[in-house]
A = this chain, B = another copy of it.
Amino acid sequence: MPRPTLNDDDRAQRRRQLLDAAHALYQRRQALPTVAEIAQAAGVAKGTVYLSFGTKEEIFIALLDDGFAQLLGTLLPQLQQLPRQAEAAAAAFAAGFSASLRTLPDLLPLAAMTNSVLEKNLPLDTLLDFKTRVMGGLMMAGAQLEAHLPLLLEPDQGSDLLRRTWALTQGLWQLSDCPTPMKPHLIEALTARGVPHVYDRDFHDELQTALTLLWRGTLLARRR
């Protein structure tokens, strides 16, 4: 029973430790690990998890939070280097966004559970903080985008565009996803049945195409 007093740094470190463990387990299983597993992987006892997180779901919301922050981090520089012509900007963003997403392979699966699983058992405050932070990042990035493309975007439409971008991304991912173990069977069976060109299309190709269309539709609006 070691009992060192924890200062804030220690606390943050413990949080990180747990988040890393949870993340690693999630990557392996593609399913929410149990608290016991997370604790074990982090080398602490089950009860200790609840000193850092009020709820199992909080852990994964925090992971999601991290993911969004990282996405934002890679996105912001890209936004400032976007070409200023509408079509080119749309295509460039789509390509950059897709590439950024590839570096965060757990973000979309995690986000897909937000509504149906993660938010189910979350204290209002945590949910509030999460949404505030995500939305704050969105607003900021949106403001940058507006500043960078003043001729293509109305004021305040930057964050709208980015929100819709995320929505389209998440929606497309959910349409293309299916339980990992049966993915090959499903694709094969769908192909055999002649249901064409939908699940076997590479998600990132589809994402780029769709995002380009959304952005074009948005950025061309001003021109009319």
Binding site for B on A (CB under 8 A): 31, 87, 90, 109, 112-117, 119-120, 122, 124, 127-128, 131-132, 135-136, 138-139, 156, 159-160, 163-164, 166-172, 174-175, 177-179, 182, 185-186, 189-190, 193, 195-199, 209-210, 212-218, 220-221, 224
Contacts and interface: CB of A to CB of B under 8 A. Distances in A.
Contact of A220 (B109, B128, B189, B217): B217
Contacts of A174: 114-115, 167, 170-171
Given A214-B214, A217-B218, A220-B220, A198 B115 contact: no
A188 to B, nearest CB: 10
Contacts of A177: 115
Contacts of A116: 112-113, 116-117
Contact of A186 (B124, B197, B221): B124
A182 B127 contact: yes
Among A90, A156, A168, chain B packs the most CB atoms within 10 A around the CB of A168
Given A131-B178, A168-B171, 18 more contacts: A119-B178, A127-B182, A132-B193, A135-B198, A136-B195, A159-B198, A164-B168, A164-B172, A164-B210, A166-B175, A167-B170, A167-B174, A167-B210, A210-B214, A213-B214, A213-B218, A216-B216, A217-B217
A127 B186 contact: yes
A163 B175 contact: yes
A185 B135 contact: no
Nearest to A138: B198
A131 B186 contact: yes
Contacts of A213: 164, 214, 217-218, 221
A5 B184 CA distance: 40
A179 B171 CA distance: 19
